[in-house]
Amino acid sequence: MAISASDVKRLREETDAPMMECKVALEEAGGDFEKAKAILREKGQSAAAKRSGRSTSEGVAKFVVSADGKTAVGVVLESETDFVSNNEGFRKLVDTLANGLLNAPADAVNGDVNSVSIDGKTVAELVTEGVALFRENIQLTQAVKLESDGTIGAYNHHNGKFASAAVIGGDASNASELATEVATQAAISDTVEYLTRAEVPQDVIASEIEAETKRAINDGKPAEMAAKIAEGRVNKEFFQNKVLLERPHWKDESKSTAQFLKEMAQGTAEVTGFKRLTVGG
């Protein structure tokens, strides 16, 4: 049966598959659109299986926040090359996944996210379709959903390599602005691992003090002085590097992030959590 150009165009628009593959699928399906779609899906699954072992070192990290600021979803979709990750269709797939997961249960997003359904297709199916479309291995490597009675803000870096979200509690009238400010600070602070000093495990602190003590002794300092130097370095340098609220704020490095937010808040405000996502992280 002859396949018209309009039929090929229609299948292309409905599946995003390459024109030639649409034509071949329609020919194999005898002009039946549903059968042609099934053929394209099968070919996509086969392509995904063949490419599954390839390294994915590029991609996009993104957070989206619900209109009421109570829910956020972050995803990292990785590809083999930046040629694909910079593609408009790839960015559209990232948006589809992130926005679609906003309506999914948190335990599903934070658990077996590949089985979550978005507009009739599972996450795994959407990613597989992406593999077929972009001709590269594509993997959803991270997915997280945050929910809060407070206010959530997000920051997505323009290059797509990292993104973050932060949660603010309290009654501050500018809570949304504060949350975005904290998210921005978290995003650009690639060494940060903890929100507060109290979250840092004691064995981590002890190990750091031991390392700094040895460093001071190797610099020729007496043992007693070396211990004091080590404690000072950990209290300043280590915690500033690892604790978000003690990090010098990017707008005014003479102040910690906690101090900057306290001055900025129009009412009471407390940072209750944050999450940072990175491509390759």
pLDDT tens, position by position, 31-50: 888 888 888 777 766 565 56
pLDDT score at 53: 62
As its CATH architecture, domain 5-51 has Orthogonal Bundle (1.10)
- The band of 21, judged by pLDDT with boundaries at 50, 70 and 90, is confident
What is the pTM (predicted TM-score) of this model? 0.81
- The band of 252, judged by pLDDT with boundaries at 50, 70 and 90, is very high
pLDDT score at 135: 82
The residue-averaged pLDDT of 199-217 equals: 94
- The band of 13, judged by pLDDT with boundaries at 50, 70 and 90, is confident
Q: What is the mean pLDDT of the chain?
A: 91
pLDDT score at 128: 87
Provide CATH 1.10.8.10 ranges for the chain.
5-51
Amino acid at 63: F
pLDDT score at 7: 84
DSSP 8-class letter at 263: H
d(CA 101, CA 106): 9
pLDDT score at 168: 98
Task: Confirm if 134 and 90 have CB atoms less than 8 A apart.
Answer: yes
pLDDT score at 129: 85
Provide CATH 3.30.479.20 ranges for the chain.
55-147
- Each as own residue / partner, the long-range contacts of residues 104-110 (CB below 8 Å, 24 or more positions apart, any chain) are 104/145, 106/145, 106/146, 106/147, 109/73, 109/143, 109/144, 109/145, 110/143, 110/144, 110/145
pLDDT score at 43: 75
Q: Where are the alpha helices (DSSP H) in the chain?
A: 5-15, 19-28, 33-51, 82-85, 88-101, 106-109, 123-134, 175-187, 202-218, 223-233, 239-242, 257-264
pLDDT score at 182: 97
pLDDT score at 1: 62
Does the pLDDT value for residue 237 go beyond 60? Answer: yes
HEC secondary structure over 209-221: HHHHHHHHHHCCC
Task: Confirm if 175 and 272 have CB atoms less than 8 A apart.
Answer: no
**Measured between alpha carbons, how far apart are the two ends of the chain, in Å?**
50
Provide CATH 1.10.286 ranges for the chain.
201-242
As its CATH architecture, domain 201-242 has Orthogonal Bundle (1.10)
In the beta sheet, which residues pair with residue 166?
153, 274
Half-sphere exposure (Cβ direction) of 253: Cα atoms closer than 13 Å: 4
- The band of 172, judged by pLDDT with boundaries at 50, 70 and 90, is very high
**What would the pLDDT profile of 125-160 be if each residue is shown by its tens digit?**
999 888 888 888 899 999 999 999 999 999 999 999
Does the pLDDT value for residue 56 go beyond 70? Answer: yes
pLDDT score at 45: 61
In the CATH hierarchy, which top-level class contains the domain 55-147? alpha beta
d(CA 236, CA 212): 12
The residue-averaged pLDDT of 2-17 equals: 81
Identify which has the larger pLDDT, 280 or 43.
280
The token pair at 269 is: 């405000």
pLDDT score at 47: 63
pLDDT score at 34: 86
> Distance of CA 132 to CAs 10, 121, 280, Å?
18, 15, 22
d(CA 79, CA 85): 6
- The band of 219, judged by pLDDT with boundaries at 50, 70 and 90, is confident
d(CA 181, CA 261): 8
Half-sphere exposure (Cβ direction) of 32: Cα atoms closer than 13 Å: 7
Identify which has the larger pLDDT, 214 or 11.
214
